[in-house]
Amino acid sequence: MPRLLKRASKVALWLCIIFVTVTTLQVLVLRWVNPPSSMVIQHWQQQSGRNAQLEWRPLERISPNLQVAVIAAEDQKFPLHHGFDFASLQKAMNEKRKRTRGASTITQQTAKNLFLWSGRSYLRKGFEAWYTLLLELLWPKERILEVYLNIAEFGDGIYGAQAAARNFYGTSARHLSRWQAGLMAAVLPSPKRMSAMTPSRYVRSRAADINGQVRQLGGTGYLQKL
């Protein structure tokens, strides 16, 4: 029995070493190589039988208006935290009313969308935390934001800032106005229910609130903190 436990411990140790090595290399490579897709996009394509709309754009070709609007809407402490915003998480757990922002950080959302399957299991949450730590350790904040903006879902089958800008406004991600950026950021919590192209009164109101938050953060100048 002791010999069996020793063998099992050795196998478990090697499995852990392999997992850490493979995932670290995976994240490190994607610091410089743009991912052609994501787990979320692949899942959508399998479920729908359609090809997702996705056009990669480097961060410098995505409007600063959209960059700061997404930060204001999703994760205002993004330049400051190391992957987890525990204060916002605690606040979200205590609040019963509808929130303007969620407790999941941009880094967590990037990890979940890029690498993981859908679901709410503790196992998936554990993988999400691990990948979040790796992203924060191995990528600069600009790269995290760049990947997030290129794989985020803005509409049914529409992923990334460029595809969304083309579909909704007939423009490029580089030329999005403050109002357009606010509308796109406003639909991120539920892009299948809300539309940035034909926004409801709620979406317009939320976009106005986001633009107000952007002004409080100092506008696009807040991006200098990244």
Residue matched to tokens 């967590």: 108
Q: Which fold has domain 31-225?
A: Penicillin binding protein transpeptidase fold (1.10.3810)
Amino acid 95: pLDDT = 56
Please report, in tens digits, the pLDDT of each residue of the chain (226 residues total): 677 788 888 889 999 999 999 999 999 999 999 999 999 999 999 999 999 999 999 999 999 999 999 999 999 999 999 999 877 666 655 554 444 445 799 999 999 999 998 777 899 999 999 999 999 999 999 999 999 999 999 999 999 999 999 999 999 999 999 999 999 999 999 999 999 999 999 999 999 999 999 999 999 999 999 9
Express each pLDDT in 74-86 by its tens digit: 999 999 999 998 7
Question: What pTM does this model have?
Answer: 0.92
Cβ-proximal residues to 11 (8 Å cutoff; 6+ apart), any chain: none
All structural domains of the chain with their residue ranges: 31-225
